[in-house]
């Protein structure tokens, strides 16, 4: 699961990416982590893990992770091949969701590519490039489907969808706001893998002073919030520069630093958690003396497939899952006490795993 960080040049993408990866997972723990400097494997902050680990005296704690990709170089004209435009657009096509960084800080020392700070104009510039690129994809598909559409009902139906979708985009709207209840259409739509069909989170990059009230007194942030509402996106207020400083601190120093700033949680942590959710991911937990660990699954995953994340044998030989809610377990103080209170469920293969389930799988080998 991958998120791409996009935005115009000089808005703070690299600064954000660096703080993400610095605060992030020990890459040594994650052998699948590539050495690509633009890709970072980032731990998802989850305070439940430390508490569970304390209960079980776990030697090791392993958080869930997600990948962030720094997609620099998206500029006006990218869809027409300006700069390395098309390459960057191809990179965006590979991600599952987008973090769109927008500049909401004034600083005469940091040049703006369009001469002034105007986040909505910036967002529209990027959106337009993505829209152009999507229209190109639709046009290619239209050319292909048109030939068969005369004699083939399915292709005729798809052609009709393509034309409607293209019109939608030509009005400057995003594919994600295009709604259809028709199942064929939904399937085609997801098959096109349109850039503007991907979920977006806006990261409003503000000055340090604007953190305490979460950007409420920053007019740029207000503009971004209004805009985001229309396309159904969330907005997170961060100060990339401060995040970079925070990322270098030890855990207890970090707490004090955040208190001084008047915030409980760093913007980065909120952003990572929101990214995890926007990807439709949840965590179930396993805990014992050797390790307490969060396992990433898609919402709606059933117990055997969730077990398969640990090992394929767990899925194949699945018998049942012993499940207790994380908070219930902590309240009871031990799994034995939770069992006595009837809070540990014995669940079968149709059980849909919930976020925060602490699970012990029983299986045949």
Least Å distance, CB 291 to ligand GDP, is 36
Q: According to CB under 6 A, which one of 3, 4, 6, 11 is a site residue for ligand GDP?
A: 11
- Cα–Cα–Cα angle for 51, 17, 39, nearest 5°? 90
Decide whether 58 or 125 has the Cβ nearer to ligand GDP. Answer: 125
12 annotated ligand-binding residue: yes
Residue span binding ligand GDP (CB under 6 A) among the ranges 25-33, 38-46, 237-245, 286-294: 237-245
H or E stretch at 51: helix 47-56
Cβ neighbours of residue 248 under 8 Å, at least 6 residues apart? 22
User: What is the DSSP annotation of 200-218?
Assistant: EEEEEE--GGGTTTTTTT-
Do residues 329 and 359 make contact, with C-beta atoms less than 8 angstroms apart? no
Q: Which of residues 107, 167, 187, 248 is near ligand GDP by CB under 6 A?
A: 107
In sequence order, the β-bridge partners of residue 204 are 102, 237
Near ligand GDP by CB under 6 A: residue from 3, 4, 12, 270: 12
Quick one: which segment of 124-132, 236-244, 307-315, 325-333 binds ligand GDP (CB under 6 A)? Answer: 236-244
Q: Is 105 helix (H, G, I), strand (E, B) or coil?
A: coil
Confirm or reject binding of residue 69 to ligand GDP (CB under 6 A).
no
The reply, when asked if residue 254 is annotated as ligand binding, is no
27 is in an annotated binding site: no
Q: Which of 39, 75, 128, 207 binds ligand GDP (CB under 6 A)?
A: 207
Cβ closest to ligand GDP, residue 4 vs residue 12: 12
Q: Of the candidates 10, 50, 312, 327, which one interacts with ligand GDP according to CB under 6 A?
A: 10
Long-range contacts of 213-216 (CB under 8 A, 24+ apart): 215/104
Determine the interface stretch with ligand GDP among 12-20, 45-53, 186-194, 302-310 (rule: CB under 6 A). 12-20
Question: Is 237 one of the binding residues for ligand GDP (CB under 6 A)?
Answer: no
* Residues recorded for the chain: 365
In angstroms, rounded to a whole number, what is the distance separating the alpha carbons of residues 42 and 27? 9
CA-based angle 128:132:137, to the nearest 5? 145
- Minimum distance from residue 282 beta carbon to ligand GDP (Å): 31
| 7 touches ligand GDP (CB under 6 A) | yes
Radius of gyration of the chain (CA): 23
DSSP 8-state secondary structure symbol assigned to residue 353: P
**Residue among 41, 169, 240, 335 that touches ligand GDP (CB under 6 A):** 240
Report how far Cα 137 is from the mean position of its chain's Cα atoms: 24
**How far apart are the C-alpha atoms of 327 and 357, rounded to whole Å?**
9
Binding site for ligand GDP (CB under 6 A): 7, 9-15, 72, 105, 107, 110, 205, 207, 239-241
Q: Known binding site for ATP: residues?
A: 10-15
Q: Known binding site: residues?
A: 10-15
């Amino acid at each position: 699961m991958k998120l791409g960080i996009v935005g115009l040049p000089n808005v703070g993408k690299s600064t954000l990416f660096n703080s993400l990866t610095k605060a992030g997972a020990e890459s040594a723990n994650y052998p699948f982590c590539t050495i690509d400097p633009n890709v970072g494997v980032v731990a998802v902050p989850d305070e439940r893990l430390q508490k569970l680990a304390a209960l079980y005296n776990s030697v090791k704690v392993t958080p869930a992770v997600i990948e962030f990709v720094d997609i620099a170089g998206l500029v006006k004209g990218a869809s027409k091949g300006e700069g390395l435009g098309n390459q960057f657009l191809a990179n965006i096509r590979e991600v599952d969701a987008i973090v769109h960084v927008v500049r909401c800080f004034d600083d005469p020392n940091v040049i703006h590519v369009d001469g002034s700070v105007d986040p909505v104009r910036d967002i529209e510039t990027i959106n337009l490039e993505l829209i152009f690129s999507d229209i190109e994809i639709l046009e290619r598909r239209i050319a292909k489907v048109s030939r068969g559409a005369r004699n083939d009902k399915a292709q005729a139906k798809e052609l009709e969808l393509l034309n409607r979708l293209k019109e939608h985009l030509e009005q400057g709207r995003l594919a994600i706001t295009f709604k259809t209840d028709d199942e064929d259409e939904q399937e085609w739509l997801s098959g096109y893998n349109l850039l503007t069909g991907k979920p977006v989170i806006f990261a409003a990059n503000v000055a340090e002073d604007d953190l305490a009230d979460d950007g409420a007194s920053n007019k740029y942030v207000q503009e971004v919030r209004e805009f985001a509402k229309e396309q159904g996106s969330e907005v997170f207020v961060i100060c990339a520069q401060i995040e970079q400083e925070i990322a270098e601190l030890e855990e207890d120093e970090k707490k004090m630093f955040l208190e001084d700033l008047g915030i409980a949680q760093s913007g980065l942590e909120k952003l990572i958690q929101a990214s995890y959710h926007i990807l439709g991911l949840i965590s179930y937990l396993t805990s014992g003396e050797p390790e307490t660990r969060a396992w990433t699954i898609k919402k709606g995953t059933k117990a055997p497939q969730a077990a398969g994340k640990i090992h394929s044998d767990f899925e194949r030989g699945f018998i049942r899952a012993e499940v207790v809610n994380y908070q219930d377990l902590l309240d009871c103080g031990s799994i034995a006490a939770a069992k006595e209170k009837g809070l540990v469920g014995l669940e079968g293969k149709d059980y849909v795993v919930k976020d925060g389930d602490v699970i012990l799988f029983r299986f045949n080998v």
